[in-house]
Amino acid sequence: MTVEPKEGLALINGTDAMAATLAMAVADVEVLLVAADCACAMSVEALLATESAYDEEVVALRPAPGQQASAANLRLLLSGSPLVASHRASHHAVQDAYSLRCAPQVHGAARDLCAVARTTVERELAAVVDNPLVLVDRGEVVSSGNFHGQGLAYAADMLASLCADLAAISERRVDRLLDPARSRGLPAFLSADPGVNSGLMIAQYTAAGCVTALRAAAAPIANQSVPVSAGQEDHVSMGWTAALRTRRCVDDLRRVLAVETVAAAQALELRRPQRPGPGTAALLASLRRRVPRLEADRPLAGDLAAAEGWLAEGGWRTAVESACGRALS
């Protein structure tokens, strides 16, 4: 490619880098929103929770598209689950914890905000953001403000915030899975031999550390304008800083969801001979091709890194959708 007159300036003087970075972040977050529903479904089964809160008619009473999509995923993933059916008539719990019962509301709100960020990015990718602008038909060169990245900075802030909260609710499910006082019969820290082994205790530490980092990174950047250029550029978006920060947040969210998936998979196996549903069983089988079951203590760094890579590669979704006979939303 040969850069023609003014094209070099156009490449560096607008929002190109912000838009490109956020486009990748939006695409990754959309995948992780589905992964969050999958991890949650495994945790619901493992914790002997109920699927009644995801009822289509109940969820439809709040006309929020993201919430409805997330609940539809959970219904699909839990459909035909012997584990869920095993206690459907039980009164062992009046209501499940919020991290389980309200998952569609939290995951769904994140979906709705991610959709706003996608719209912002798509508009930007179709925009002319150079300055000054050459209006050929009018024969004019106009100094404009299209290069300002405030919309993208706002979108980056939204994505960072939802990454922090998705990770937070996921980590709460991990904590519940590992705590014998709240896990409804699972061994401490999901160890087959608790007391001698620490099981997945340290994995939760990893999740907790990521959540803390994400919360710190969720502070708004779009309102942190610092004037430059002798006051000529007296309000700037800080969008590039925000976009880079958000890209890192996506990675930390993936790490937390990897921890939940590993923990929920271990818990489901500890529930045997009770079995998960077809969708979650496919998810478990897909993970086990990369991460073996924890029988005795071993360093967990390799397991968690493998699970994170597994989530990033996306083959898990194909396996689940094939088992369910329908695409996830």
Burial of 173 (0-12, 13-18, 19+ CB in 10 A): buried
Q: Does 122 fall in a domain?
A: yes
Q: Which amino acid is at 254?
A: R
Residue type, 270: L
For the chain, percent of residues with pLDDT exceeding 90: 87
Q: Residue 242's pLDDT is what?
A: 97
**CATH code at 219?**
1.20.200.10
Q: Is 275 strand, coil or helix?
A: coil
Q: Determine the structural domain holding residue 305 and report its residue range.
A: 7-323
Residues 6+ apart with CB under 8 A from 243: 17, 18, 21, 22, 25, 152, 153, 156
72-121 pLDDT per residue, tens: 999 999 999 999 988 877 666 668 999 999 999 999 999 999 999 999 99
Q: Is residue 296 part of a domain?
A: yes
- Model pLDDT, residue 92: 63
Return the H-helix or E-strand segment holding 149.
none
CB 69 within 8 A of CB 108: yes
The answer to whether position 266 is within a domain reads yes
Residue 46 lies in a domain: yes
Number of domains in the chain: 1
The answer to whether residue 58 is domain-embedded is: yes
* Residue 18 included in any domain: yes
pLDDT tens digits, residue range 119-167? 999 999 999 888 888 898 999 999 999 999 999 999 999 999 999 999 9
